[in-house]
Structure 1
Amino acid sequence: MLVVDVNEFYSPTGGGVRTYIDRKMSIMADMGHELICIACGKEDRVEERAGGGKIIYIKSPGLPFDKNYGLFSRAEPIWRWLDQLQPDVVETSSPWRPAWIVGKWQGGALKSFFMHNDNIAAYPMRWLEGLAPPEQIEEACAIYARYMNRFLTLYDTVVTNGPALQKRLTRRGVRIDAAMTLGIERSHFSPSLRDERLRAAMLRQIGLPPEGHLLIGIGRHHGEKRWPLVIDAVRMAGDKLPVGLMLLGTGPESKRLEVRIDGNPHIRLFRPVYERNELARIMASADALIHGSEAEPFGLVPSEAMASGLPLIVPDTGGCAEVADPLTSETYRARDTAAAAAAIHRLFAREPAILRKAAIVAAGRVRTDREHAVDLMAYYQSLIDARDGTGVSAARRA
């Protein structure tokens, strides 16, 4: 099966989307399939992957507020590539121009709209919080759900990356046909990579002794991640605990986060770690991962942390809450700094040896990206098999 993903969110310097596509490409090649990603680029070029698949970059304007990403502006270059490639399945996930570009392409491929994010939770609900209850904000944004349902009529199937997003969008009346829960490269992460000397060195970098508590946060410095909440919660918890935070990432909010930290020696920003083996060692050597975003549709980084044997401190709604193991995690009321600080206290009040053993057991239960790919390909194949002689799938006729 040839799958082409028209992906406006893929970038060589990106985060979760880049990781997902690169791994999916490799896994599908091992399964005998091929994945080709059409992405925005600074120039037209094709990047062949040694293990199978390729990235086709189409010259596109960059986002004005984040030059790591671009925007597809014209349909014709994408249509030409799709006409040439003749895929069995074409996917896209952006609700803006790509949704209509792929939806209006006249080829015979199965068309799948893959919901990877929640723009309502990431933007208006964050911008307007405090001005109105979340229910009123959602109701005011109902026009966006109606907009999505218009272009979704062009697709054979609409899938989400997990149950959190499926529940959220279904509640708003958005068409969803299936939830294809994501997974991670679990074999890459392991509790066995824990290094006490590395842990002590990281604690020294944030001014804490070996008996201190090392929290780690990983992700883009973007408003939807709610790092200011995390920083404030760690500072608040630090009034009673020797706890500190290493925050790995970069983005448009980096300077504001530095201001927020305000010289606190136990909270520091660090550049992203792109080398997977090094990142896996760092994760395994921390004491817990903390996250602030209730808008996460799937907890990719929390899943990697769990596979590394880390407990989690995450909001009680969204993708992070869906993947959190209750035996090794503490959840807190979303958007509540004091609740997050209390969750830090609760986690470190647990018996460390018991918590460590439970976290190691939980690490082996984390869903893998291979399981996700197998389920997704089987689902697509079932829709292709259901087609009749007109070339229109059963799902689309329905």
Structure 2
Amino acid sequence: MRIVDVNEFYSPTGGGVRTYIDRKMAIMADLGHELICIACGKEDRVEERVGGGKIIYVKSPGLPFDKNYGLFSKAEPIWRWLDELDPDVVETSSVWRPAWIVGRWQGRALKSFFMHNDNIAAYPMRWLEGLASPERIEAGCFIYARYTNRLLRFYDTVVTNGPALEKRLKKRGVRIDTAMTLGIERSHFSPDLRDERLRAAMLRQLDLPANGHLLLGMGRHHGEKRWPMVVDAVERAGERLPIGLMLLGTGPESKRIEARIAGSPHIKMFRPVYNRPELARIIASCDALIHGSEAEPFGLVPSEAMASGLPLIVPDTGGCAEIADPLTSETFRPRDAADAARAIERLFAREPAILRKAAVVAAGRVRTDREHAVDLMDYYADRIAEKAGRAPRLVA
């Protein structure tokens, strides 16, 4: 099959979406399929990938508050590419301009809307926090659900990236046909990559002794990630335990976070690490990963941390909660720094040897991106067969 993903969220300097697309492209080529991504770019150009697949950049205006990303402005260039490529499946995942561009294209392809995020949880829930309860905000956003269902009528199937988002959207009355839980490049991450000398060096950077606790906070610096709340929680727990926090990432909130942690010897911010082997060593050499976003639909970074043998400290709702193993994780009430601090303390009160052994076992159970790709391609093959009036494949 040839799949074309019209994706406004793909950027060479992006985070989870870039990682997902790049890996999916390589896996699909290995499986005998082809993935082509049409993305926003500063100029029109085509980037061929070794082994198969490509990124087609369409010149687009930049996102006003984050120049790493762009916005599709015109439908015609995308329609011309879709006509030329003649895909078997065309995917998109933005409910704004791309949804209508793909939805109104007249090609033969199966049209799949792949839900990767929850805009209500990421924006109104955060903007109106403290002014109204989550229930009232949900109720007030019913028009958004109606709008979403109106555009979804153009699509043959609607997919989410996991059960957390499926449950959340179905509760609002949004059409969802199936959940295709994401996975990670598990072979790239391993508890065996833990390096005690590297861990000791990182603790020294945070002005902590060798018996200190090293927390990792990794991800884009965006309001929905709730890094200030995470910092508050670590500082509270640090009043009773020797705890440090390494923040790896960048984004529109970086300056705000930098100002918040200014003067803290035990919390420091570092640029993203794009070298995957180096990043895998860093993750495996920390003691736990802390994540603050209850709006996270899947939890790519926490999955990578689990595959590296790290325990998790995450909100008790959302995608992170869905993947967290109770034997190796602690959860806290969303948006509650005090409860997050208690979760940190509970985790480090556990017997270290038992916790480490359980985390190593959990690492081997993390779902792989190849498993996700195989399941998704099988699902698309069935939907294509149904659309053509043929019987779907029988699964033993």
- Structure 2: any 5+ residue segments left out of the alignment? none
Q: Calculate the aligned-residue CA RMSD, in Å.
A: 1.0
- Inter-partner Cα distance in structure 1 for 2:234 and 2:317: 20
Deviations 1:33-54 (A, max 9, x none): 0000000000000000001000
Structure 2 match to 1:6: 6
- Any idea what SS the aligned residue of 1:208 has? coil
- Inter-partner Cα distance in structure 2 for 1:110 and 1:262: 51
Q: 1:205 deviation in Å?
A: 0.4
Structure 1 counterpart of 2:272, which letter? P
Structure 2 match to 1:342: 342
- Any idea what SS the aligned residue of 2:387 has? coil
- Inter-partner Cα distance in structure 2 for 1:152 and 1:319: 23
Q: 1:262 deviation in Å?
A: 3.1
Superposition map of 1:260-299 within 5 A: 260-299=260-299
Q: 1:261 deviation in Å?
A: 1.1
- Inter-partner Cα distance in structure 1 for 2:200 and 2:280: 16
- Inter-partner Cα distance in structure 1 for 2:254 and 2:364: 34
- Inter-partner Cα distance in structure 1 for 2:328 and 2:118: 27
- Inter-partner Cα distance in structure 1 for 2:352 and 2:235: 22
Superposition map of 1:54-73 within 5 A: 54-73=54-73
- Any idea what SS the aligned residue of 1:265 has? coil
Aligned: 1:120 with 2:120: yes
Q: 1:260 deviation in Å?
A: 1.2
Deviations 1:333-361 (A, max 9, x none): 11100000000000000000000000000
- Any idea what SS the aligned residue of 1:269 has? strand
- Inter-partner Cα distance in structure 2 for 1:106 and 1:387: 15
- Any idea what SS the aligned residue of 1:117 has? coil
- Inter-partner Cα distance in structure 2 for 1:70 and 1:388: 36
- Inter-partner Cα distance in structure 2 for 1:94 and 1:291: 24
Aligned: 1:231 with 2:231: yes
Structure 2 counterpart of 1:150, which letter? R
- Inter-partner Cα distance in structure 1 for 2:254 and 2:93: 27
- Inter-partner Cα distance in structure 2 for 1:198 and 1:131: 45
Structure 2 counterpart of 1:359, which letter? A
- Any idea what SS the aligned residue of 1:386 has? helix
- Any idea what SS the aligned residue of 2:135 has? helix
- Inter-partner Cα distance in structure 2 for 1:63 and 1:386: 38
Structure 2 match to 1:167: 167
- Any idea what SS the aligned residue of 1:130 has? coil
Structure 1 match to 2:206: 206
Structure 2 counterpart of 1:203, which letter? L
Deviations 1:190-219 (A, max 9, x none): 000000000000000000011000000100
Structure 2 counterpart of 1:138, which letter? E
Amino-acid identity (%): 83
Structure 1 match to 2:385: 385
- Inter-partner Cα distance in structure 2 for 1:84 and 1:180: 28
- Inter-partner Cα distance in structure 2 for 1:368 and 1:213: 29
- Any idea what SS the aligned residue of 1:129 has? coil
Which structure 1 residue ranges, 4+ long, deviate > 2 Å from structure 2? none
- Any idea what SS the aligned residue of 2:173 has? coil
Structure 2 match to 1:317: 317
Q: 1:388 deviation in Å?
A: 3.4
- Any idea what SS the aligned residue of 2:58 has? strand
- Inter-partner Cα distance in structure 2 for 1:229 and 1:119: 20
- Inter-partner Cα distance in structure 2 for 1:195 and 1:142: 50
- Inter-partner Cα distance in structure 2 for 1:87 and 1:221: 35
- Any idea what SS the aligned residue of 1:345 has? helix
- Structure 1: any 5+ residue segments left out of the alignment? none
- Inter-partner Cα distance in structure 2 for 1:258 and 1:88: 46
Structure 2 match to 1:371: 371
Structure 2 match to 1:45: 45
- Any idea what SS the aligned residue of 1:114 has? strand
- Inter-partner Cα distance in structure 2 for 1:265 and 1:141: 42
- Inter-partner Cα distance in structure 2 for 1:105 and 1:325: 43
Structure 1 match to 2:194: 194
Structure 1 match to 2:94: 94
